[in-house]
Structures are given as structure tokens and as C-alpha cells.
Chains A and B, each alone.
Chain A
């Protein structure tokens, strides 16, 4: 019996409720897990409201994060000019100095990854609980795991701004100050992380057919 050919008994189908925090199983209707104290939530689409709420908050915060400057660089007390750079301008500047590898890292970490995260969470929340094949479910779970893993790494940008602003304080020669985008970017990352955490991966498996099409008779 391979996992892909036969339906698998889930806690939900058995009329039970699994704890997402510690894995302990309780009868349906119980509200909190007696072992770890976490709230027990049934795997249904109602939980997606939370995902969408955090998702929207993250997306809203992502707009000012790109429009406002991330940091302000001042050289020679502003005589040589002071420049304000948004995220994209920062990437362009890095490329201008020939740091292509770092430019790519920053571009991927602060532009590609957030965008891909928004798209991936939205897609996961759209298709969650809809009919799917086992292969599709595996793909969706993989995508969810990647999103969950990668989410926190976007915080890199905020740390870079903090380190640079603390370090580059050379008075007359050069100084760097953080810009308002840093705070909205940090919030956007945090909200997206919360959105991904609110997503219940068990929903991915809810849409699987109860019996496989090849005529396997149902299980216990």
C-alpha cells in the first residue's frame, strides 16, 4: 500500500482534532490542547480569513516600503551631495559600483522574495480545500514550506540599514541615516510571516478525493 494510491485516515475524518502545536489528538469539540495548552482549530476554510487579513496588511505596508527611502547617505557634510535611496535605487547603486553579486542578493531578498511570497500565499489560500490530486497536494505543501522558511530572511534589509546607520557615522566625511521605509518594510515582512503562519497546511489535503479513482475500496 503506497501512500499515493490509498486514502489515508486523517484525524478530521476520524472525528478527531489534532493539535497543530504538539500533534496530540483530541475528540472533536475540545477547545484547547490539554498537553501543550494551544488552541485547537479544526482544519476548515474559516481560518483563511486570518491569512487574508495579515496578507492585506503586509501588502499595504509593502507600498510605502518601496516608495520611501530606505536610507539617506550624506557625504562631506552634504557638500558632495546627500542621496536618498529606495530599495530599488539601492540595488542600482550597488550595480553602479560593480557589486553585482551583492546587488543580486539584495534584489532577490527585498524585491523578488516579497513579491513571490505575496503571490504564493494568495494562491495557496485560494486553492486551499479545493479538489486536488495527491501530486498537487505535495507540490502545494512544498510551496508552503518554502514560503514559511524564506519569510523571515526578508528581514535582512532592515538589519543592513540598522548596521549601516550605526556604523557609518564619520561626522564630516560620511554618514548614513535610516529612512521611513525601514519601518514599513519591517512591518510588511512581519505581517507576511504572520499570514503564512496563520495558513493551516492541513487544508491543502482536505480537497483530496475520499476514494482513489482506481476503485480501491474505502479504508477502516
Chain B
């Protein structure tokens, strides 16, 4: 902040605006473990964590592996009076596969399986070269922006709570057996939480920018400030 030319009020170089309240901040390099909050609304602006990129890549792979398990293993099974029925995750999606409800099949499958997997791939695509200190792949910025845009629509954790509610409703009607896919989904929640702890959008954006995309020489300024 002391360097006079570390920011430029006419071009916006070296500045950051809080996305929640528009307050202007001078960008500074943070050490891993530090957290920058907005001076006005108190929202977190950046919280770089040591080794975060590697952790995020690992957690993304975990998500994909767990999701594969969740798709192919049985999800839930019920039985009553000799009648039994088992369902997989696809069965849940296909529950809407008749008449006017058909579009819901696609929507539900996207929300619980498609988007979590897609986001994991986008994140790996963005972060792998950055973690190795190389220039990002083409369209890395777009990949990461889409990954962030899709965040609210990937609803695996909500689906698990929905399962819990459904189980209580069914409990009086029949005996329920939980399959491996159910536990895979529970594990996904934990992976999600861990991933959220390591995620710092500002750091990733800076890394993408400084590693060679759309650069405007600001990385040298940052080097001087830190």
C-alpha cells in the first residue's frame, strides 16, 4: 500500500472491488493462512491456504471417484410383505420419466450427478497447470468462471438431506436398506466441505492472471509490494 505506483485509480490496476458492496481495496499479496476481509461489509475477499491448489485437485478427483461409486452401486432398497424394490441413482432420476415431468429427469440428474462431476473436471483443468507453476491451459479463465457460476446448481448435499427425509417417510411403510451409493453421497458432503475450506477464488484468479493470461504487468508490481 505504501508504494505510490502499486495501484492506478484511472485504469483500476492493482485494485480490487468487493463484489458485495463495491468498496475499493488495494491489492496486496497475502501469505498463506492470512484472510483479507472487506473494510465495509466484512465479507471475505481472499484467504489463500498453503497447498490449496493441490488439495483442491485431490478433492476434485475424490468427488469423481465417489460419484462413480454412487452411480453404479445400489442406492436404497426396501422390502415389505415379500415385495421388494431397489433403486440406483439413475432410478431416482428416472422417477420423473413420464409425461409432463420428463424435463425434470434431466434437471435432477444434472443437479445431483452431472454438475458436481463437471465442476470437478473444470477445477482440475484450471488448477493442474497452476499447481505445477506452468501457464494455464487455454480457456482456463472461462472454465473457472463456469465452475463458479454452476456452484449453486450442484446440489449433491441437498440431495442427501432429501434422502434422509424420504427415509423417514418410508420407514413406517417398509424396511429400508441403505446401499453403498448412499454412503458415497454422505462422504461427498465431507469432501465438499473440505473443498470449500481450501477454495479461494481471488487467489485462483490472480494465479490465472499472473501465470500468463491477459497479463498487464501487474504481477511485477505485486512483486514489488510484497
Interface residues, chain A, CB within 8 Å of chain B?
3, 8-12, 14-27, 34-38, 43, 94, 97, 99, 102, 105-106, 137-138, 141, 148, 151-153, 155-174, 178, 180, 182-183, 186, 190, 193, 197, 201-202, 204-205
Contact = CB atoms under 8 A, between A and B. Distances in A.
Contacts of A197: 152
A105 to B, nearest CB: 7
12 contacts: A15-B9, A18-B24, A22-B145, A25-B12, A26-B11, A137-B21, A156-B158, A164-B166, A167-B85, A167-B87, A169-B85, A205-B40
A90 B214 CA distance: 54
A138 B205 contact: no
Which range holds the interface residue count of chain B? 35 or more
Contacts of A180: 100-101
Nearest to A148: B152
B22 A159 contact: no
A153 to B, nearest CB: 6
B162 to A, nearest CB: 3
Contacts of B10: 15, 27
A199 to B, nearest CB: 11
Given A23-B17, A170-B83, A9 B158 contact: no
Contact of B214 (A18, A20, A35, A170): A35
Contacts of A153: 158, 161
A158 B101 CA distance: 11
Given A34-B214, A35-B208, A167-B87, A99 B22 contact: no
A141 B21 contact: yes
Contacts of A16: 9, 12, 15, 17, 24
A25 B174 contact: no
B61 interface: no
B80 A23 contact: no
B64 interface: no
Residue among A21, A155, A166, A193 with max Cβ neighbours from chain B (10 Å): A166
Contact of B24 (A9, A160, A162, A166): A9
A27 to B, nearest CB: 6
Interface in B26-55: 39-41, 45
Given A170-B78, A170-B80, A102 B17 contact: no
Nearest to B108: A162
Interface string B157-199: 0110111011011101110000000000000000000000000
B165 A22 contact: no
A171 B81 CA distance: 11
